[in-house]
Structure 1
């Protein structure tokens, strides 16, 4: 099993030892000594999994995890807490915060490798591929569709923002946007418009670019707020 990992820990000795062991086990590991540097590394390249200490100066592990979970790009990213805080209450707090696994120090490095491998296998199993072989996170897509449908049910509660914003959409982009705002997935949109899923993906990507959004949920909210759809 291979994968790109991000390790965040402020203890140099432990950080270097864990990084070396994970790399010897076949993983590619980038390391940071604090959450701020870890976040900067993530902007350069999104890892497949994050391993983070909890007790760190300035921004602790819980705050770092909260920052990750509030970003649409990292909502489904597996996170492992590696920490000296092994009390049951601490573990419960970690799981409630959205961590995927919790390994108290001292730990067996083989156990860490097993946890990482298992989480990566689960992530791989939850992903499908589009026509170009690119990965699609099914769970994340389902979550976005559920959010969109919930948003539409409360459409009257979304206030339109008075704006002179001008977005030039082609007729086909408008058609795709209408169907996205109805909560349809790409395959369903392709069927309705009698086109390929790949073409729909291209139109959705253009809509993201033109509206400055990064997810279907953001796109639908933007469209509703700015009157881009009925």
Structure 2
């Protein structure tokens, strides 16, 4: 769960801080923004796994920003849960019609919030209740901290394990070095971008022993992508 990031967009300081605390206690990473403008800057740097979005925000409202995101192919698949004091059925329908994945009326319990988040992440394929992520014959076991191909266990470091966990839960998407640093190492840690290249090379070397080095691909000018579909045509 530690590799999953949630963007919290809430203009009230006390509520925003409470949401961040609840999420971190539940094992998520969180990034906070006070309005849609700041939230968009976050998206420009790193793509979260889910957005908790307040309906009423200063400037561009939360519901309007959500509408824009759902129209953009880059963000269309990004899960959004709307948070609002509006409890009328008409407002709920409006929120869901623009593409929001769920809707919570304030006040709500932290336990219910976490349960709703997990449900949305489960539906979007970002978490696996079995604690195993399987892509083809590649299996990542988050409980036993093992990565294997078939019956062969791969010798990877904790960082490379987290890198593969992130890749396997975000297949076919391109991430630049900064995004990978934020998602795998965390924003609070200062590490040079070339560190990503070092771990990618080592990961490919390990995968190459099983003829699977093409699972982790370089997208020239952009970054890296994990793709089982493309690799299937070149692996033996």
TM-score normalised by L of structure 1: 0.57
Give the C-alpha shift of residue 199 in structure 1.
6.5
- Report the Cα distance in structure 2 between the residues aligned to 1:31 and 1:86, rounded to whole angstroms: 24
2:77 alignment counterpart: 76
- Report the Cα distance in structure 2 between the residues aligned to 1:115 and 1:84, rounded to whole angstroms: 17
Structure 2: 5+ residue stretches without partners: 128-132, 139-163, 174-210, 223-236
Give the C-alpha shift of residue 135 in structure 1.
3.8
Give the C-alpha shift of residue 88 in structure 1.
0.4
2:65 alignment counterpart: 64
The DSSP-based 3-state class of the residue aligned with 2:124 is helix
Contact 2:49 2:126 in 1 (8 A): no
Identify if the C-alpha distance between structure 1 residues 197 and 16 changes in structure 2 by more than 3 Å, giving closer, same or farther: same
Deviations 1:170-216 (A, max 9, x none): xxxxxxxxxxxxxxxxxxxxxxxxxx99869969x56x97xxxxxxx
1:24 alignment counterpart: 25
- Report the Cα distance in structure 1 between the residues aligned to 2:137 and 2:213, rounded to whole angstroms: 6
2:9 alignment counterpart: 8
Structure 1: 5+ residue stretches without partners: 141-195, 210-230
Deviations 1:150-173 (A, max 9, x none): xxxxxxxxxxxxxxxxxxxxxxxx
- Mapping 1:82-101, distance limit 5 Å: 82-101=83-102
Contact 2:10 2:33 in 1 (8 A): yes
- Report the Cα distance in structure 1 between the residues aligned to 2:123 and 2:213, rounded to whole angstroms: 26
Give the C-alpha shift of residue 22 in structure 1.
1.1
Q: Looking at CA atoms only, which structure, 1 or 2, has the larger radius of gyration?
A: 1
2:226 alignment counterpart: none
Q: Which runs of 4+ in 1 moved over 3 A?
A: 125-138, 196-203
TM-score normalised by L of structure 2: 0.56
The DSSP-based 3-state class of the residue aligned with 2:44 is helix
Aligned residues: 152
- Report the Cα distance in structure 1 between the residues aligned to 2:113 and 2:91, rounded to whole angstroms: 19
The DSSP-based 3-state class of the residue aligned with 2:32 is strand
Higher helix content, 1 or 2: 1
Higher strand content, 1 or 2: 2
Give the C-alpha shift of residue 71 in structure 1.
2.0
Question: Does 1:113 pair with 2:138?
Answer: no
Give the C-alpha shift of residue 18 in structure 1.
1.1
Identify if the C-alpha distance between structure 1 residues 71 and 198 changes in structure 2 by more than 3 Å, giving closer, same or farther: farther
- Report the Cα distance in structure 2 between the residues aligned to 1:97 and 1:137, rounded to whole angstroms: 24
Deviations 1:135-160 (A, max 9, x none): 4779x9xxxxxxxxxxxxxxxxxxxx
